Amino acid sequence: MGDIDLTDRAAIAGIGATEFSKASGRSEFRLACEAIASALEDCGIERAEVDGLVTFSMDTNSEIEIARAMGMGELTFFSRIGYGGGAACGVLQQAMLAVATGTAQVVVVYRAFNERSGVRFGSGAQSARPAIPNTDTARSAWTSPYGLHTPAQQVAMFAQRYLHTYGGTTADFGRISVIDRTHAATNPKAWFYEQPITLEDHQSSRWISEPLRLLDCCQETDGAQAIVVTSLERARDLRQPPVRLAAAAQGSGSNQQMMTSYYDRDLSQLPEMGLVGRQLFASAGIGTDDVDVAILYDHFTPFVLVQLEELGFCAPGEAAALAASGELEMGGSLPLNPHGGQLGEAYLHGMNGIAEGVRQIRGTAANQVADVEHVLVTAGTGVPTSGAILRVDR
């Protein structure tokens, strides 16, 4: 955060979402507007008061069309963050910076897509038309000839090396999936509500790209999520208790690529998340023992294990034992993804994870952890990433 102290200067005042489905039956633009309207209603802020909008570079809903359709009026701040799911907390950081510096008074962060009924990210960069040459297509030219077309194929290379380095098995990945699905099963908003799985279910699910099985891979979801950020002082006068933004950070490794950082110093680590974690804990002035809930980006189960290690909750190679210990379950010392995560609730590029962090601080979550003061939220890994620490207002 540099020399400027932005800790607790901004707060999340409202959250809103559509239903999570596999076929929304409406446009991504409408989904975005519905989620934004819900978030503003949640906190009681009028649409005309919104003067900032932030979203992902991959979002199809332009800020000016959102503002015009919603009756927001003039915008003094609008911004987009790239790198897919790695942007999840980066967009929150943008809103925090805008509010804390007075660039905007009320910023809405949103993400909307028909990722199951429309463009399916899991299919990879497949197109009948030649890609427009750029640095990203040039980079992929080094990996796609070897069959690394989809995110699952790209992460599988990492996962195989992780198992080799630490002597693990695919059951180590499966325990993350079981935890998420167990939590989703008691969350009525989750797609897999009342559908828990066992480790045996995981181990018998089909291969997607060895060593990744079907149940190691997140869902494809239609839906939208929106979050309202304003000053802490303003948030205290609104309908919901404010959720302080204690810290937000971005990180990219020194040899970063998109899901294929195979020439990094250690293929069994995610240095971009380590960088984010160091910034977050320093800015918020807390340590790992102060984190009450961990909302970790779970597009693929192996990366959840490595995040636990990079963030300092355990040493390298010890996350599998932590997952097996029961400490990541409800009632454990570090409940993981009480909403079910992207494996169990919905895949909204991590935005629904931020909303779950807000509910945990408010005390309104479906699977509520007792006495929550700090929630750690992370964004997509294997790419330039981000994270945030949410704090109760006392």
Domain spans, the chain: 10-118+218-392
pLDDT tens for residues 245-255?
Answer: 999 999 998 88
Mean pLDDT of 215-233: 97
Contact, 349 vs 55, CB < 8 A?
no
In which residue are the tokens 């009320």 written?
Answer: 106
Residue of 228, 186, 240, 195 whose CA lies nearest to 17:
228
Half-sphere exposure of 378 toward its Cβ, with a 13 Å CA cutoff?
35
Instruction: Round the CA-based radius of gyration of the chain to a whole number and report it.
Output: 20
pTM: 0.95
Element (H, E) at 277: helix 271-284
Q: Which residue has the higher pLDDT, 283 or 1?
A: 283
**What pLDDT, on a 0 to 100 scale, did the predictor assign at position 126?**
52
pLDDT at residue 118 in the model? 79
At 131, the pLDDT band (50, 70, 90 cuts) reads low
Multiple choice CATH, 10-118+218-392, 3.30.1330.40, 3.20.20.10, 3.40.47.10, 3.40.50.620: 3.40.47.10
Give the rounded percent of residues in the chain with a pLDDT score beyond 70: 96
CA distances to 112, 174, 177, 389, 393 from 203, in Å: 33, 7, 11, 34, 43
Q: Give the residue numbers marked as catalytic.
A: 297, 347
pLDDT at 121 over 90: no
Name the residue with higher pLDDT: 123 or 87: 87
pLDDT digits (tens, 9 = 90+) for 316-355: 999 999 999 999 999 999 999 999 999 999 999 999 999 9
Q: Please check the confidence at residue 258 and state whether its pLDDT lies above 90.
A: no
Residue 63 has pLDDT above 80, yes or no: yes
Please determine, for residue 5, whether its predicted confidence score (pLDDT) is greater than 50. Answer: yes
Beta pairing class for 374-378 and 293-295: parallel
